[in-house]
Amino acid sequence: MIRTRFAPSPNGALHLGHAYAAMVAHDLARARGGQFLLRIEDIDGTRSRADMARQAVEDLRWLGLTWDAPVVMQSARLASYGAAADQIKAMGLLYPCQCTRAQIAAAATAQGPDGLIYPGTCRGRNVSPEGAAWRLDVTRAMAMTGPLTWDDELAGIQTARPDLLGDVVLLRKEAPASYHLAATLDDAEDGITLVTRGFDLFAASHVHRLLQALLDLPVPRWHHHALLLENDGRKLAKRRGSPALADLRLAGVDGRALADDLRAGRLPAGLSLGTGVTSPSTCA
Ligand code: GLU
């Protein structure tokens, strides 16, 4: 049976782009007689807000979406992220990194799909693990797993290219696990068979496929959907004036009708659907 999920990070209010993403995941499950789950990705201690998590649940109910299991809170699963990271560490594939963002920006020479690629400064060096971020040695990891593929039901079979993102962080200083590690483990734990997310996170799936191979996790299919874009081709963002769903809800807008409009492609003026490939991800 197919099982999908919507997994917002409660760093701010949900907007129409989130409504669209949630609806895609929900409707795919419903159309195929499967299940839909809601997971709140609340492990970033510096950005996650409990009030935003509660608000997101209200917003999704208002849109008429229903889920088939209690809401999963990532913050309840920290121990399993640590255990998986230890497993990858024991394979000799994680190394500590003390670089600041500014240092990386100064040293990086290559641009990846998610911004500058970490240039590997701390790899192979004797860096103190105290307060460090832990990065995945992607080249070694790929040598260990051999070539991998994954299947996006819209884009087709992909050759996994986690190297496109470089040595990503799996354990952060300010959060117990990175998005990549937590999302991959949770999708396995929750039995997600079809991972739906916006096309802006397409590249992240290369890394997730590698983590699945390293941790011997089941491999789902993926469905990277189009994004709601503004006139300038950038994806919607609350900071650029996209209305919060909560504001629409409190103003008396009919959430179910809004969801039906999005389903039917009746988009608010000035918005369109596209891949938004010029907008780097904020999740990785
Ligand atoms: N928490 C991520 C976000 O809000 C989820 C992305 C995913 O579905 O993997 O963008």
- Residues 150, 158 contacting (CB under 8 angstroms): yes
The model's pTM is 0.94
For ligand 1, the distance from its centroid to the CA atom of residue 21, given in whole angstroms, is 10
For position 113, what pLDDT does the model report?
85
Residue 281 in this model has a pLDDT that exceeds 80: no
**Scanning the structure block, which residue is given the tokens 């907008």?**
279
In tens, the pLDDT along 240-252 reads 778 999 999 999 9
For position 123, what pLDDT does the model report?
96
Ligand 1 binding pocket includes 201 (Cβ within 6 Å): yes
User: What is the average pLDDT across 166-178?
Assistant: 88
Superfamily, domain 3-283: HUPs (3.40.50.620)
Indicate which residue's Cα is closest to atom 7 of ligand 1: 197
| Measured distance CA(145)–CA(139) in Å, rounded | 10
Atom of ligand 1 nearest to the CA of 18: 4
Ligand 1 binding pocket includes 283 (Cβ within 6 Å): yes
- Residues 127, 218 contacting (CB under 8 angstroms): no
Sign of CA dihedral 31, 33, 38, 41: negative
In tens, the pLDDT along 108-128 reads 999 988 889 999 999 999 999
Give 97's strand partners: 133
User: What is the average pLDDT across 205-212?
Assistant: 98
Query: Which of 9, 44, 212 most suits a substitution to test ligand 1, by most atoms within 8 Å of the C-beta?
Result: 9
27-41, 110-124, 270-284: which is most confident: 27-41
For position 280, what pLDDT does the model report?
47
In tens, the pLDDT along 94-107 reads 999 999 999 999 99
For ligand 1, the distance from its centroid to the CA atom of residue 248, given in whole angstroms, is 22
Atom of ligand 1 nearest to the CA of 204: 9
| Measured distance CA(41)–CA(38) in Å, rounded | 10
**Scanning the structure block, which residue is given the tokens 């596209």?**
274
Q: List Cβ<8 Å contacts ≥24 apart for 115-118.
A: 115/280, 117/165, 117/166, 118/166, 118/167, 118/168
Q: Considering the chain, what percentage of its residues have pLDDT values greater than 90?
A: 83
Helix and strand element counts for the chain (H, E): 9, 14
As a whole number of Å, the end-to-end CA separation of the chain is 29
For position 234, what pLDDT does the model report?
87
User: What is the average pLDDT across 160-165?
Assistant: 96
For position 283, what pLDDT does the model report?
54
User: What is the average pLDDT across 174-186?
Assistant: 91
Q: Give residues with Cβ within 8 angstroms of 130, minimum separation 6.
A: none
| Measured distance CA(223)–CA(281) in Å, rounded | 16
Query: Which of 60, 178, 181, 201 most suits a substitution to test ligand 1, by most atoms within 8 Å of the C-beta?
Result: 201
Domain residue spans of the chain: 3-283
